[in-house]
Amino acid sequence: MEQLQKGSKKLLNAWAFYDWANSVYSLVIASAIFPLYYQSLFSIAEVDTVIVFGGEIRSTPLISYTTAIAFTVVSIFIPILSGIADYVGNKKVFMKFFCYLGAFSCMGMYYFTLENIHLSLLLYFLALVGFWSSWVFYNSYLPDVAFPEQQDKLSAKGFSLGYIGSVILLVFNLTMVMKPEIYGLGEGGAGSMKAMQFSFVSVGIWWILFSQYTFYHLPKGNRSNNKVTYRILFDGFKELRGVYNSLSENKTLKRYLVAFFVYSMAVQTVMLVATYFGEQEINWGDSDSKTFGLILSILLIQLVAILGAFLTSLSSKKYGNIPTLIVINGIWASICIIAFFIRSPMQFYATASLVGLVMGGIQALSRSTYSKFLPDTEDTTSYFSFYDVAEKVGIVFGMLIYGVIDHITDSMRNSILFLVVFFVVGGLLLFRVPRNS
């Protein structure tokens, strides 16, 4: 196979297309269908709690803690794997492995039940680990495939493709959930639950199928012909320490990473719990209205996010990355304050639109801003591993704080309101980053 040149249109498109392939997980599993299915299991069983490892726990803290544990595992093992990938030069192999791990685990979630809660949570856990771990290696390819002046636009394009692709699959899944009898899945609530189970399978198939174009064109890595030995198993941590030490020589990158850690903690937490919040805290009327309303909200977020990603890209080009990120953090803080007070579906739709406008923008711009601040190096996996570990550790703290506040106060509203602090502090820290990008 001919090696595509850095910056070539075909290579850039191949990289961005992985967003199309894997974003169905973040929409269908993390945001839309699975949260509805998960909460419906408790409603059908007419219980609020479940016994896990001998202890009784409510549904939302349970999923928050499971998510936090999964991100902890990702944070620990990704440095080890990225160290091996940098040394051997085969990061595409790792990207493939975690892609398939996540995809097949999504298919296995067809069997998610409260009766087999431990196995069910394990499948959810593995799907999350697969998605986010493959994302680390995917992100690390950005400076390998694109020149600095291409990265803002390409990052936004990737997220936009992801939103479009995931919406297409979600619309198909929505027709199954709302009209299961058309697909021979039965009628009423039982048919809808079966449709949700098949939705998990569709995510795995979509993810594997469309990732092949990316895998075909992405380069293998920067080095080769090195063998894995016991000594290099922990080279990833050594490389992270090297990246950390290099921050003293790159004040811009250091200050940006501190700010990113703080505000990303809140961004990712909101995105992971939004549907659970809407399911429990909004007055939908009946279960059918709730299902349709929540999925419609997620669709609205995805469609608006396409516009938001490109508006953010244009804004960063005109005003600079850092000023744009400061404004976006202010909008996020406002959203959390608004969310504390909303009760009706229309209020939830309006808030969802605001979330969509800034969701894609802050993700795409954060990724490309970090890429721009990197020193001139071939070991991009190490630097993006550091970036992703910072993000994942932030998610662990965010989900734990969210879960603990929810657990203690029996209210997700209090947890959402607390996230305002992280957006405000993150925005203030961004003021310390030089405005030259």
Nearest to 361 by CA among 416, 305, 435, 420: 305
Cβ(219)–Cβ(121) below 8 Å: no
Neighbouring-strand partners of residue 57: 50
Cβ(348)–Cβ(277) below 8 Å: no
Per-10-residue mean pLDDT, the chain, length 437:
77 92 90 88 88 85 88 82 68 90 97 94 95 85 81 80 87 89 88 94 97 89 56 64 75 87 88 82 82 81 79 86 92 93 91 85 82 73 75 84 83 86 93 74
Buried/exposed 278-298: b ≥16 CB within 10 Å, e otherwise:
bbebbebeeeeebbebbbbbb
Q: Tens of pLDDT along 35-94?
A: 889 988 998 888 888 988 888 888 888 888 898 899 888 888 877 776 676 666 677 888
In the CATH hierarchy, which top-level class contains the domain 9-222+236-430?
Answer: mainly alpha
Domain boundaries, the chain: 9-222+236-430
Angle, vertex CA 23, rays to CA 426 and CA 290, nearest 5: 85
Q: Tens of pLDDT along 157-193?
A: 887 788 788 889 988 998 898 889 999 998 888 898 9
**Distant-in-sequence, close-in-space partners of 352: CB < 8 Å, separation ≥ 6:** 274, 297, 298, 300, 301
For residue 223, give Cα distances in angstroms to 67, 142, 376: 34, 17, 16
- Concatenating the DSSP letter of every residue in 272-291 gives HHHHHHHHHHS--SSHHHHH
- Concatenating the DSSP letter of every residue in 172-241 gives HHHHHHH-GGGGTS-SHHHHHHHHHHHHHHHHHHHHHHHHHHHHHHS---S--SPPP-GGGGGHHHHHHH
